[in-house]
Amino acid sequence: MPRGPMRQGFGFAVEAAVPGGPRAGRLATPHGTVQTPLFMPVGTLASVKGVDVGRLADTGAGVVLGNTYHLHLRPGEEVVQAAGGLAAFMGWPGATLTDSGGFQIFSLADQVQITDAGASFRSHIDGAAVRLTPEDSMRIQQSLGADIAMQLDDVVGLPAEPARVEEAMRRSLAWAERCLAAHSRPDQALFGIVQGGLDPQLRRVSAEALAGMPFDGLAVGGLSVGEGAEAMRTTLAATMPHMPVDRPRYLMGVGRPIDLIDGVAAGIDMFDCVLPTRCGRTALAFTFAGVLKMRHARLRDDLRPIEEGCPCPACRHSRSYLRHLFLAGEMLGPILVSLHNLTMYARLMQQLREAILCGAFEAVAAGLRQQIDGDAD
């Protein structure tokens, strides 16, 4: 199946790259052009938890992720469509991406039955019967109207039996072809998803097959599902040589700042993860000097900001004040630290991008790795 032209309003260009390694580029969408590498905040239910869209834009975010499974269950794709699509519904001025629902079927739904036809399960909200096929996922995502849609894939947790991993990979390839056949919206890009667990040969088969299909970009899925950081890095290294160089590459559901650095080093362009806001709600702040535990007693009289030089709203306040907000149960604390974490992730992506453009990625990445993966002072 030959690849056709990118969808209306889309384009991807690599501006600088290390062969087989990091690259900086630009991704054009109907809602604006974004620089890569980029991190996408997760707005599962058309909302990044605790963060309004104005402040979200101020963090430096360029693309926001929503979820097919969740938005189908509530409020329903017809409600979002009537509002003008996902971006208009949430009041977001930038680009959006919808995940297909495959991971949520794996992680949230009850009584799941997966066959080659599709998935049948019970809603985690009210127990109602739900069926999701590749065609259903495409219909829902086209109604949601995000700039980028994802194919439906069969996700397995790790470790898993080799036979189940291969079954999921081959089923995902079959579903990829069905998604392409069902997807007809000309102003919405469609990405395929590489599966194959930790098996390098299965990953190669998946990546090479998808590269031969007319997807607008490819994602690496099925990682950060229990395999551990080292196994993830090894699998990513084995997968990337088989990913096409002319399309954006997306590592799904990852991760920690150190994982983002490793992903960019491997040639990944796009990331998403709930970690910045989830940790923000639980009083963990990410900094370029490591993680800061905002409830810690040693911060009681600490009048420094979370991080010097950070432009986020949280860093207009002291660590002492932010600690007080968490201990007092004030909702402002989680909001502010979530904003800080999202800003930090965007700043990290920008630093890595600039390092690629000026040919200094290896030195910059080495310095960041030494500082970023421990506890901050």
Q: In terms of DSSP H, where are the helices of 267-331?
A: 275-281, 319-327
C-alpha 52/C-alpha 196 separation (Å) is: 37
- Tell me the C-alpha distance between 221 and 357, whole Å: 27
Structure tokens at 104: 């949520």
Indicate the burial class of 316 (C-beta count within 10 angstroms; 0-12, 13-18, 19 or more).
exposed
- Parallel, antiparallel, or unpaired for β 119-122 and 129-132? antiparallel
Q: What angle do helix axes 257-266 and 229-239 make, rounded to 10 degrees? A: 20
CA 78 to chain centre: 24
Residue 169 in tokens: 């990979």
CA angle 271, 168, 268 (to 5 degrees): 20
Catalytic position from the list 99, 153, 216, 269: 99
Q: Are 310 and 292 in contact (CB under 8 A)?
A: no
**C-beta separation of 189 from 222 below 8 A:** no
Residue 264 contacts by C-beta under 8 Å, 6 or more apart in sequence? 22, 37, 349, 352, 356, 361, 365
Active site residue 269: no
* List of E strands, the chain: 11-17, 23-29, 32-36, 38-41, 63-67, 95-99, 110-114, 119-122, 129-132, 148-150, 189-194, 217-220, 249-251, 270-273, 284-287, 290-293
Q: State the catalytic residue, choosing from 136, 147, 259, 272.
A: 272
For residue 272, indicate whether it is catalytic. Answer: yes
Taking Cα atoms as reference points, which of 369, 372, 107 lies closest to residue 224? 107
In this structure, what DSSP letter does residue 208 have? Answer: H
Catalytic residues: 99, 272
